[in-house]
Chains A and B, each alone.
Chain A
Amino acid sequence: MHELAISSAIVETALRHAAGRRVTHVHLLVGHLRQVVPASLAFYWDVVTRETLCEGATLQQDLVPARLRCDACGWAWDVEELAFRCPACDGPRVTVLQGDELIVETIEVEVEDPCTA
């Protein structure tokens, strides 16, 4: 269900940057830690774009793997399973280096050709 809320936020972001132009493509970076289900997001994308300038636009979802760094010992590792303690020193505090993105990277919009006559 959080894909519905997220897809609405993506549409709003895309429409704001489109400034009244029709959107044909949206490129999204999704961090592994956001727990977005790609098929679910794609489904809601079709629903929430209806009757907006994003209707029919393709949504490209690029998944960003999660990488953490221990604040205590500096060890950095890729997170595949849900374990956030440092595997090297057991430290509890970590910094997310990547993997919590939910970023609209680019959009593609339709632009009128300049009049050449």
Chain B
Amino acid sequence: MHRVKVRVVEDALDANATIARANRDDFERAGVTVVNLMSAPGAGKTTLLERVLADGLGDLRVGVLEGDVQGSLDADRLARLHVPVVQLNTGEGFGGECHLDANMVRSALPALALDDLDLLIVENVGNLVCPAEFRIGEDARIMVSSVAEGDDKPLKYPLMFRACELVVVNKVDLLPHVDFDLPAFLHRLDAVHPGVAHLACSARTGEGVGAVREWLAALPERSRAPR
């Protein structure tokens, strides 16, 4: 028995990237734009979606893929809005995966009538770290950061704040009650992701949600434009 060195030179996430490209091809064939919605647990992703989708997004046919470690609490909430929702649980394996990867999303595709959708919103598992590493074949990534989490988060989770095209600052109705300095937050956000788009809102009161809705409603058009 002897040892041989094998040259690999491969990104460890190549396998995920390959499946993400396959997802992307399927999405493009079906003409559906896909958003990956990420945040820490409890930042308000589901409440934001409830608000955004309550009155629909214009003529867009919207579906939601709901990622959770366990259960279907969020999917049940969204199903009330008469939006097609597919639940994806990551509970198998090492105590449940803390993120969605391209393969998990791929496994859920047969349950989604992609041809009947214009916009698919994938609500990722609440986590500020791992989801940033795993592309799923999406067109755009939105991260929600709530003021209750503190204004230092861009500096603590730069990978996540750099991995998105839009940052939604949620729960601004709590600003009078928490030590959250919005200008300081935006300054730190600009340091780790210069020029990234950001919107402030309260999914609870509805303040500022209109701008989030507009951003989403315009996304399919923007994604189709040549880059």
Contact = CB atoms under 8 A, between A and B. Distances in A.
Contacts of A51: none
A4 B134 CA distance: 13
A10 interface: yes
B195 A93 contact: yes
Contact residues of A: prevailing secondary structure: mixed
B1 A112 contact: yes
B113 interface: no
Contact of A84 (B2, B12, B97, B191): B191
A47 to B, nearest CB: 8
Nearest to B190: A85
Contacts of A2: 129-130, 132-133, 159
A93 B196 CA distance: 10
B92 interface: no
A1 B194 contact: no
A6 B101 CA distance: 12
A63 interface: no
Interface in A76-117: 82-85, 91-94, 101-113
A69 to B, nearest CB: 14
Given A5-B97, A103-B10, A83 B2 contact: no
B45 interface: no
A107 B6 contact: yes
A9 interface: yes
Given A13-B15, A35-B159, A111-B1, A5 B6 contact: no
B130 A5 contact: yes
Interface string B126-146: 010110111000000000000
Interface in B62-115: 94, 97-99
B165 to A, nearest CB: 14
Given A110-B3, A111-B2, A111-B4, A5 B133 contact: yes
A24 B9 CA distance: 17
Contacts of B191: 82-85
B16 interface: yes
B193 interface: yes
Contacts of A101: 11
A111 B130 contact: no
Q: What 3 pairs across the A-B complex have the smallest Cβ distances?
A: A92-B194, A92-B195, A9-B12
Interface of A: 1-2, 4-6, 9-10, 12-14, 16-18, 24-25, 28, 33-35, 82-85, 91-94, 101-113
Given A12-B12, A85-B191, 13 more contacts: A1-B98, A1-B127, A1-B130, A2-B130, A6-B12, A17-B6, A17-B10, A34-B159, A84-B194, A94-B194, A102-B12, A105-B7, A109-B3
22 contacts: A1-B98, A1-B130, A5-B98, A5-B134, A13-B8, A13-B15, A17-B8, A34-B159, A84-B192, A91-B194, A92-B190, A101-B11, A102-B12, A102-B13, A103-B11, A104-B10, A104-B11, A105-B9, A109-B3, A110-B1, A110-B2, A111-B3
